[in-house]
Amino acid sequence: MTEPRSRVRMTGKERREQLIRVSRTLFAEKGFDGTSIEEIAATAQVSKPVVYEHFGGKEGIYAVVVDREMQRLLALVAVALNAGHPRIRLERAALALLQYVEESSEGFRILVRDSHAASGTGTFGSLISDIASQVEDVLADQFADRGYAPTLAPMYAQMLVGMVALTGQWWLDARKPDREEVAAHLVNLAWNGLTGLEPHPGLTAASTRGRFEVPAVIEIRSLTRPTEKELKELEKAREKELKEQEKAREKDLKEQEKLRARELREQEKLLREQEKIRIRELREHERLLAQQLREQEKLRAQELRDQERLRVQEAKLAEQQARLAEKQSRPAADHVELIVERVPIVERAELAQGTERGEGGEAGQR
C-alpha cells in the first residue's frame, strides 16, 4: 500500500502563484485547448476545487497568465523606448523583445499562439497593436520633425513592430545567432533599408549596457484578484508613469531643440566667419589688382617717355645729319663767290690809287 503524497501547506497567495506557474508551463507546452483543469490540479498536487476557488476555471487562470505576460513584455518595451536617440530606441526595443523571448520562452509561446477568447486582449495581434501604439508616438514626433505626415506613423509602427515580433517568433526556436547580433541585423534593415545595409552591423554602446528590468509594479500584478481600490491605485500609478514619460519626452525634445539651436548658432557663426574671410580675400584681390594696374600704368608711362626721348634724339640726329650734308655741299659755291667778290675789290683799289695820284699832282702844281 502506497502512502499518500504529502501536500505542502501554502498561504492563499503562495498557492495562487504556484497554480499560475504550473498553468503557464502547461499552456506553453500544450496550448489552451490541450490543457485541462485536472492536469493543472494534478501537477500542482491540489484538488480541482482549489483551482476553481482561485480562478473560477481554466479560462480565468489562462487570462491571468496571458495578462501577466502581456504586461511584462509591454513594460520591457516601455523601458526601452525611454532612450533618447531614435536609433537607440529601436535598438533597445529589439533587444527588449529578444530578452523577453530568451528569459520567458514559455510566456512568449503562449502569447504567439492564437489566444483563446477567454484571454480578452491576449491575442498576438493585440500584443503587436499595444506595442505599436507606444512606438507610434515616437514615430509621430520624428515624422513631424522631419516633415513627414504624422498620420502615417500608425502604419509604420505596425510594420516595424511586426517585423521585430515575427523575428522574435522565429528566434524562439532558432536561438542562433545570439540576441545582440539578431538585434543588430534587425536595426540594420529597419534603419538603413535594403539599399543601405551595412555588411557588418553592430549596436551602439548605449543599447548594450546590461539587461532591461521590469518595474516592480508590473512584477507583483495578478498575484491576487485586484480590488477596486487596487485598480484605482494601479490607474494612478499608470497615470503617474505616463506623466513621467511625457516629462522625460518633453525634456528630451527640449534638449534636442537646444542642440539644434546650438548647431544653428554654430553654423551661423561659421557662415559669418566664412563671409569675413571671403570679403577679406576679395579686398586683397582688389588691392592686388589695383596694384598691378598701377604698375602697368607706370610701365606704360615710362615706355611713352622713353619713346618721346628716343624720338627727340632721332630728330636731333636727323637735323645734325642735314647740317653736315649742307656743309659738305657749300665749299665750291663759296669759292666762286670769293672770285666774284675779289674783282671789284681790285678795281676799287686801283681807282682809289688813281684818285690819290691825281690829287697829289694837283697839289704839286699849286
Domain boundaries, the chain: 12-225, 296-356
179-213 residue pLDDT tens: 888 888 888 888 888 777 677 777 776 666 666 56
Q: What is the pLDDT of residue 305?
A: 93
pLDDT tens string for the chain (366 positions)? 444 445 567 888 888 999 999 999 999 888 888 899 999 999 989 999 999 998 888 889 998 998 888 888 888 888 887 766 778 888 888 888 888 888 888 888 888 875 544 444 446 777 778 888 878 877 887 788 778 888 888 888 888 888 888 888 888 888 788 888 888 888 888 888 877 767 777 777 666 666 656 554 444 343 344 456 655 666 676 567 667 767 777 787 788 888 888 888 999 999 999 999 999 999 999 999 999 999 999 999 999 999 999 999 999 999 999 888 888 877 655 655 555 555 555 565 665 666 666 655 555 555
pTM of the model: 0.51
CATH of 12-225, one of 1.10.357.10, 3.20.20.100, 2.30.30.60, 3.60.9.10: 1.10.357.10
Q: Which of 122, 128, 186 is nearest to 157 (CA)?
A: 128
**For position 216, what pLDDT does the model report?**
46
Measured distance CA(193)–CA(346) in Å, rounded:
136
Q: How many other β-carbons are positioned within 10 Å of the β-carbon of residue 48?
A: 14
What pLDDT sits at residue 214?
Answer: 54
